[in-house]
Amino acid sequence: MRLTAVRVLIFSMLFCFLSHASWAGYSGPYTLIAPIAIDGDTLRADVPVWPGMLADDVSIRVIGVDTPEISAPKCPTEKAAGIAAKAFADAWIMANTPIVINNVKPDKYSGRFDAIVIGSNGTRLSDALIQAGHGRAYNGGVRQTWCN
C-alpha cells in the first residue's frame, strides 16, 4: 500500500472513530495547512486531525457548488471557465486564510472528502464562487453542462 493511501486510511479512521460528531457522518472543524485549489471546487491541503497527527495532501471537494472542469472539460469554453474558477479559488484562499473545513465526510470517490470550506471572515468558498459567477449551486445529482 502506498504511503499516501495509508495516510488517507488513517484520516478516514480518525473521522470515523475519534469524534462523537463523526458518528452521524460529519466532523470538523479542521484548520487547513497550505491549502491550494486543484480546480474551483476541489482543494488539496494538509489537515491536522489530532494533536501530533497530520493527514497530508488531502483532497477536499467543496460542498454546495459545482465549477467547470479543467482536467476533463467537455469543450474549450468549460476549460477556460475552469481555469478562471481555479484562479478565483486560489485568490479567495490567499485573502481568507486561515481556512477551516467543517461537516467533513467521505466523498463518493475514494480518497477524497467533502467539506464546507470557510474563510477567516466566516464566508464560504461555495458562496463566493457562485456570487462571482464561477460556480453553480450543487448538492448532488445531475450536473448542468458548462458548454454552449
Residue 71 near residue 39 (C-beta atoms within 8 A):
yes
Predicted local confidence at residue 9, as pLDDT: 64
Cell numbers standing for residue 90: 486560489
The pLDDT tens digits of the residues spanning 102-126 come to 999 988 877 899 999 999 999 999 9
Percent of the chain exceeding pLDDT 70 equals 82
The pLDDT tens digits of the residues spanning 123-148 come to 999 999 999 999 999 988 888 999 98
Grid-cell match 497527527, residue found = 53
pTM summary value: 0.81
The pLDDT tens digits of the residues spanning 73-83 come to 999 999 999 99
Cell numbers standing for residue 31: 484548520
Predicted local confidence at residue 26, as pLDDT: 55
Its sign, for the CA torsion 129, 36, 72, 65, is negative
Q: What is the average pLDDT across 26-34?
A: 87
Partner residues linked to 45 by β-bridges: 58
DSSP for residue 141: S
Q: What is the average pLDDT across 5-11?
A: 65
Predicted local confidence at residue 98, as pLDDT: 96
Cell numbers standing for residue 93: 484562499
The pLDDT tens digits of the residues spanning 36-62 come to 999 999 999 999 988 888 888 999 999
Closest residue by Cα to residue 60 from 3, 26, 104: 104
Cell numbers standing for residue 134: 464561477
